[in-house]
Amino acid sequence: MSNLSPRALSVVVLTALLGAPALAGGASMPMAMPMTSGTVSVNGTTVFYKTAGSGQPLVLIHGYPLNGELFKNNRALPGYQVITVDLPGFGKSVAPDANASIENYARTMLAFMDAMKLDKAIVGGMSMGGMTLLQMYKLAPERFKGLILIDTTAEPAGVAEAANWRGTAQQAQQQGVASLVPILLPRMLTSVSRTTMPNQVAHLSTLVKNASLNGVVGGGNALAARPDANPILPTITVPTLIIAGVEDNLTPTELQLKMNSAIPGSTLVEIPGAGHAATFEKAAQVNAALLKWLPTVR
């Protein structure tokens, strides 16, 4: 860790013993809670959401090409109203066409907060959701009490990565959205989980298949053309938690160490045995990290 700047604060490595009891597949023990769902029309699209629990609002934004059910095991956070949202074209949200950008996702999510009367909230984003969150903060930093960046990066796509994302969009057009499952699952889950946790494979596969063609094409091209968010990082003045799956091969830990170094006062939590979808693959450990960090947000 000696290569980090002095501003890179606490790096916490969680073990399998930390946190709430876990079910098979790393899911946290379910708790009874009020659950509602609905849609709002914002920024030319219809956005679906679910809310669970009560208390301080916590909005969670999923990655590509998933939906809010990525966070199905992260909703039981006592003292918080957890709001999961489907980005346009994913899950039950509508994308009117295949034109998309990270910046427009950010405008849609800020409009969603307006529609939900959330003047200020803690907001988390996984992967593409984290990229969206950084652009949201750039546009309206006053709307945030805290940020949670989960298996994401501030880096723009390089030439090879951009070509990969455009190729993913093209494959969906030619072979259908379901054809992406065998490509994307090895990025989402570790080999151990893919071979021993069929419930996890089935759930994430279903989320991919539930995405619309407009969503998958638009999202793939948005990832390819995403802006460089590095200049935003040193401007962040709210408490920030960075969660990194140690075995994430899509946004490796090194990228999240770099964000930790650049965001003043940020906290990095590494999740052993987790890939890119750490928030789902190791839900109990992620929930423990959230419940430890959330009370620090005033």
* Structural domains for the chain: 34-156+228-296 (3.40.50.1820)
pTM of this structure? 0.90
Instruction: Give the span between the Cα atoms of 164 and 223, in whole angstroms.
Output: 10
Average pLDDT across each block of 10 residues of the chain; the chain has 298 residues. List them in order: 36 35 39 81 96 97 98 96 98 96 98 98 98 98 98 98 98 98 97 97 98 98 98 98 97 96 98 98 98 96
Residue 215 to residues 63, 69, 77, 99, Cα–Cα distance (Å): 12, 16, 29, 9
Neighbour tally for 176: CB within 10 Å = 12
Q: Which tokens hold the place of 280?
A: 């789902």
Report how far residue 119's alpha carbon sits from residue 171's, in angstroms, rounded to the nearest whole number: 40
Given this model, what pLDDT does residue 9 score? 36
Contact 265, 240 (CB under 8 A): yes
Q: Which residues contact 179 (CB under 8 A, 6 or more apart)?
A: 171, 172
Give CA–CA dist 45/37, Å, rounded.
17
For residue 34, the model assigns a pLDDT of 73
Sheet containing 35-42, strands listed edge to edge, beginning at the edge strand earlier in sequence:
11-13, 267-271, 240-245, 144-150, 121-126, 56-61, 80-85, 45-52, 35-42
Length of the chain: 298
What is residue 1's predicted lDDT score, i.e. its pLDDT? 34
Which token pair is 235?
Answer: 């401007």
- C-alpha to C-alpha distance for 88 and 211, rounded to whole angstroms: 9
Q: What is the pLDDT of residue 33?
A: 64
